[in-house]
């Protein structure tokens, strides 16, 4: 069973944004009462501020609806990956290593 998650609307974006402040300002309210208080605050917001939350939600919805068409870097076949000729060299030059001490002695 696939779940089709809906993108958040402007009110949900507003609630997620103000949730911590609501908990701080109204610590004795239940989650349901906090949602009701958030609804009151949402209705009292000026339209310009409401529109900014709605625009954010719409942008979020549009960005999440875009499906990547192909990867930017093409995937190489396995046989070609082996022929890249890359070699990794590890060298321990930490201050406690014997090699580091030998290098210091040779420079003196």
Structural domains of the chain ordered from first start: 10-65 (1.10.30), 83-107 (no CATH)
Quick one: pLDDT at residue 1? 45
Q: Out of 6-10, 38-42, 81-85, which region has the weakest mean confidence (pLDDT)?
A: 81-85
pTM score above 0.75 = no
Predicted confidence (pLDDT) at residue 107 exceeds the cutoff of 60: no
Quick one: pLDDT at residue 45? 93
User: Please, what sign has the CA dihedral across residues 46, 51, 54, 55?
Assistant: negative
Quick one: pLDDT at residue 3? 53
List own/partner pairs for 10-18 with CB under 8 A and 24 or more apart: 10/50, 10/51, 10/53, 10/54, 10/55, 10/56, 10/57, 11/39, 11/42, 11/53, 12/57, 13/53, 13/56, 13/57, 13/60, 14/38, 14/42, 14/45, 14/50, 14/53, 15/42, 17/53
Distance CA 30, CA 20 (A): 14
Quick one: pLDDT at residue 105? 62
pLDDT mean across residues, the chain: 76
Quick one: pLDDT at residue 15? 93
Q: What is the mean pLDDT of residues 53-65?
A: 89
Q: What is the mean pLDDT of residues 77-86?
A: 58
Higher pLDDT, 66 or 78: 66
């Amino acid at each position: 069973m696939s779940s089709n998650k809906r993108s958040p609307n402007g009110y949900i974006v507003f609630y997620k944004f103000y949730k911590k402040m609501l908990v701080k300002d109204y610590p004795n309210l239940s989650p349901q009462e906090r949602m009701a208080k958030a609804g009151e605050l949402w209705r009292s917001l000026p339209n310009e501020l409401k529109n900014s939350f709605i625009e954010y939600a719409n942008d979020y919805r549009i960005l999440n609806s875009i499906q990547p068409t192909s990867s930017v870097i093409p995937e190489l076949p396995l046989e070609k990956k082996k022929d890249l000729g890359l070699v990794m060299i590890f060298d321990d030059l930490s201050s406690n290593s014997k090699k580091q001490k030998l290098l210091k002695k040779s420079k003196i």
